[in-house]
Amino acid sequence: MSIYSRLAKTSLIICGSVWLASCAINTPLPPWPASLPEAALPPPAPAAAPSAAPPAASAWQASKSRWVPVPWSDLPGFDKDNLFEAWNAWIKSCERPGPTFAPLCADVRRLSIGSADEQRAWMIERLQPLRVESLSGVADGQLTSYFEPIFRASRQQSAAFNVPLYQAPATLRRGQPWFSRQDIDTLPEAQAALQGLEIAWLEDPIDALLLHIQGSGRLQLTQADGSLRTVRVAFAGSNEQPYRSVNAWLQEQGVSKVNPWPDATKAWAAQNPQRVQQLLWSNPRYIFFKEEPMSAIDSSTGPRGAQGVPLTAGRSIAVDPGSIPYGTPVWLSTPGPSVQLQKLVMAQDTGSAIVGAVRADYFAGTGPEAGALASKVNQPLRLWVLWPR
């Protein structure tokens, strides 16, 4: 959840959750370093993992990638990860496991109270690491990041709160293009179809665009007694129009500084108020939402991803399901430059911008701090799926 979901985000937040896409600009990735630190693993038992990678001929093939069996020692940092953090995400995947991983879920739940050494030993015994490559054998890919924003909102339209968030209209059909973003703002027939479907109203059209890009978020609504009530708005559909990067459009207009998102975009909008609609309309894609009440438990988790389970900050990724199936445990390695990661994550979401064999969108969490991290991540990536033996 994990949607223009959910285009390459290059240099700013990719926005993947809940079937979303990206708000990227096209800048090249930094080169992968000549070498990465390798895990100092104790030698595994021969039955648990091979001492050398099998020949390439033994590679497995998915529809958009191939997987090459490798020894556990190929996974950088495997002996150092705090696996209990990932175990919580794995238990969530077991709420809706596919047939391949369902037989492992009893052990996964049992090991939730196990030590990291016990969890690691079980993984080595039960799983085979396979390096993810493109069909042409390229192992280097791209990592971006997304998050769940929080905005003030109102149930009633006013001079301050005048940007609507809509439920899906009855005439919306998956796979069939509906009115574009510009049509929704200007055509009477589009506005008539959305009449009465307002969930809430935001203050800033750039915030609304960011929420559309991320695919889900939290709204802080002021109650009659002055207290705040927080609700979640989750992806409920799109107008099936193509996604266009607003930042790429800004670059075409000669704007050199488009990051950090959305601050740089808001600064440009403040200086060019007469062109804000043109900026918004440069992206025809439009997202519709459904409201979800939040309990105290919900507040500690992310929105639901495409697998249908809540996302876990720092441990959930969006992937191309043609390369990696939902619910698959994945070893992720990236050298930076914004953040260096070597950790176990779960493939629990997707997005229309998340396309290709070695491609992932890293769920950073909820709120401004997560957004600050997500806006920086655009860097090289390598992935290994961990598949049952």
pLDDT tens for 107-125 read 999 999 999 999 999 999 9
Q: Residue 86 in contact with residue 120, Cβ under 8 Å? A: no
Predicted local confidence at residue 297, as pLDDT:
59
Predicted local confidence at residue 264, as pLDDT:
87
At residue 9, does pLDDT exceed 50? no
Interval 156-173: pLDDT, tens: 999 999 999 999 999 999
- CB-based contacts of 311: which residues, under 8 Å, 6+ apart? 1, 2, 17, 89, 301, 302, 303, 304, 305, 348, 349, 363
For range 360-383, the mean pLDDT = 94
Predicted local confidence at residue 238, as pLDDT:
94
In one-letter notation, the amino acid at residue 71 is P
User: H-helix or E-strand containing 360?
Assistant: strand 359-366
Predicted local confidence at residue 116, as pLDDT:
93
Q: Binning pLDDT at 50, 70 and 90, where does residue 31 land?
A: low
Rounded mean pLDDT of the chain?
A: 85
- How many Cβ atoms from other residues are within 10 Å of residue 170's Cβ? 8
Can you list the positions of beta strands (E) in 50-107? 60-61, 66-69
Predicted local confidence at residue 22, as pLDDT:
39
At residue 11, does pLDDT exceed 90? no
Q: Binning pLDDT at 50, 70 and 90, where does residue 24 land?
A: very low
At residue 36, does pLDDT exceed 90? no
Identify which has the larger pLDDT, 19 or 128.
128
Predicted local confidence at residue 35, as pLDDT:
35
Lowest mean pLDDT among 24-28, 265-269, 384-388: 24-28
Q: How far apart are CA 11 and CA 258, in angstroms?
A: 9
- How many Cβ atoms from other residues are within 10 Å of residue 292's Cβ? 14
Angle at 209 between CA 18 and CA 147, to 5 degrees: 45
For range 170-177, the mean pLDDT = 94
Q: How far apart are CA 173 and CA 171, in angstroms?
A: 6
Lowest mean pLDDT among 27-36, 117-126, 151-160: 27-36
CA atoms within 13 A on the CB side of 383: 31
Predicted local confidence at residue 26, as pLDDT:
37
Q: Residue 316 in contact with residue 310, Cβ under 8 Å? A: no
Handedness of CA 57, 332, 287, 267 (dihedral sign): negative
Q: Binning pLDDT at 50, 70 and 90, where does residue 256 land?
A: confident
Q: Residue 250 in contact with residue 262, Cβ under 8 Å? A: no
Q: Binning pLDDT at 50, 70 and 90, where does residue 273 land?
A: very high
The burial class, CB within 10 Å (0-12 / 13-18 / 19+), for 56 is exposed
Lowest mean pLDDT among 9-13, 44-48, 208-212, 261-265: 44-48
Identify which has the larger pLDDT, 64 or 33.
64
Q: How far apart are CA 363 and CA 10, in angstroms?
A: 16
How would you classify residue 262: left for phi > 0, otherwise alpha for psi between -120 and 50, otherwise beta? alpha
Q: Binning pLDDT at 50, 70 and 90, where does residue 237 land?
A: very high
Q: What are the chain's domains?
A: 56-146+305-346+357-388 (2.40.40.10), 147-245+272-298 (2.40.240.50)
Predicted local confidence at residue 268, as pLDDT:
93
Predicted local confidence at residue 50, as pLDDT:
32
Q: Which two tokens stand for residue 109?
A: 């739940």
At residue 154, does pLDDT exceed 60? yes
Q: Residue 383 in contact with residue 360, Cβ under 8 Å? A: yes
CA-based end-to-end distance of the chain: 29
DSSP 31-60: PPPS--PPP-PPPPPTTTS-SSPPPGGG-E
Q: Binning pLDDT at 50, 70 and 90, where does residue 296 land?
A: low
Q: What strands lie across the sheet with 228-238, from one edge to the other? A: 150-153, 217-222, 228-238, 287-293
CA atoms within 13 A on the CB side of 202: 20
